[in-house]
Amino acid sequence: MYKRQLLGQAYLYERAKRYDEAETDFKALTSGEAPGDLLVLAYGGFLERRGRKVDALALYAKSLAAEPRNSVLLAAQARAQSAKGSPPPAPSLKQGAAQAIMAPAAVMISAKQDQIALAYLRLALRLDPNLNTAWLMVGDMMQAAGDSDSAREAYGRPRPGSPEYATARAKLAWSYQGAKDPEMAMKLAREAAATGDVDAKVTLADILRVNEKFEESAAVLSTVIGDDPDWRLLYARGIAYDRSGRWTEGERDLQAALKLKPDDPELLNYLGYSWIDRGEHLSEALAMVQKAVGDNPRSGAMVDSLGWAYYKLGDYKKAVETLENAIELEAGDPDINNHLGDAYWRVGRRDEAQFQWRRVLTLDPDPKIKAEAEQKLANGLGPNGPAPSARVANQ
């Protein structure tokens, strides 16, 4: 309630030309660790209207340091940097009231008081139907509630050219992807990426990867990875390269990402498992997946990586024990069942091995895993066995 009153008061002080008092309120609103877009943009707009572009740019830069790809902050920064850029107009009374109402709406969402939050958002949109941030929040709430039609209607409100347009199209794309309409999802993601928005391009790359268009996904990511890359983008491109059969390039990206983020469990697991699966750097890879499991002991995928490392190192008894733990965590994973079957075979538990391979066929495996299981059911596991497929935790 405090922030809502203070923001409304700041706008009223500005309308009354009591600029020092307005700035006191704006400073109080943005003095925290992460004040949020709404408050930063409100204070930045005030500074721009006062002719203080340097101060506005410093404010935007501080927030962008924490959120370097935030589209609305980037748009505000670009406007303030432009010699021809005009400051945003002061909000009308209705617009100011709508923005003030957004603060308690955000508080209610964080407190999981969805009905109250939605009431605040609806009121804000009655006052200002063009408040795109409110439409995005409504869309997120409707999507989380399983009301995809209402979510899509909300995501469709931001117009082309608005700072929120690319984000809205990306969210709309994920809505269709979740509804198993990948063609529409990719179409919308491409529309969003065409705006040049970096986050929209990353969304497109993610949706392409989910739909196994790995080459195109890597190509899109290459357009946004610069000289000072984000480790997450390197990780994503490394996966795309790997899954498209370009392991040398994938390994390079994954190692570069690991240098930037040496303790990330997902990254440790992916690169460690990839080396294990290829029989490379086994001691180093074992240490990597052990660390990943230490950080995420309830991840079946990571425990599976550790079990497969023991298998590759020839410690089949330990492999069985670890892979049985992985099965308890993710009983329906075809990769884990496949690995456990192999480990059972190596310790002489042939009937149990065949049970696991038969189970693989009931779990909608990918074509490669399916072919492996069928081959092993027909012929058993030879001295070396077929090459298992690469996998990634939570992918």
User: Using CA of residue 70, residue 71, residue 75, residue 76, what is the dihedral sign?
Assistant: negative
Question: Which pLDDT does position 34 carry in this prediction?
Answer: 77
**Mean pLDDT along residues 115-141:** 94
In the predicted model, is pLDDT for residue 160 greater than 90?
A: no
State pLDDT tens for residues 168-186.
998 999 999 999 999 999 9
Mean pLDDT of 112-134: 93
Looking at the chain, which residues constitute the CATH 1.25.40.10 domain(s)? 265-379
For tokens 């795309």, the residue is 240
Domain 265-379 part of CATH 3.40.50.300: no
User: Model-level pTM?
Assistant: 0.74
- Dump the DSSP string for 213-250: -HHHHHHHHHTT--SS--HHHHHHHHHHHHHTT-HHHH
* CA distance linking residue 101 with residue 125, whole number of Å: 10
CATH topology (fold) of 2-90: 1.25.40
The dihedrals phi and psi of 52, each to the nearest 5 degrees, come to: -110, 65
104-108, 151-155, 354-358: which has the minimum mean pLDDT?
A: 104-108
Q: Measuring CA to CA, which residue among 93, 90, 96 is closest to residue 4?
A: 96
**In the predicted model, what is the mean pLDDT of the chain?**
90
Query: Backbone phi, then psi, for 16, in 5-degree steps?
Result: -85, 5
- Look at residues 91, 216, 227 and name the one whose alpha carbon lies nearest to residue 236: 216
Q: Is residue 383 pLDDT above 60, yes or no?
A: no
Give per-residue pLDDT as tens, 39-50: 898 899 999 999
Residue 287's nearest CA partner among 298, 275, 278, 299 is: 275
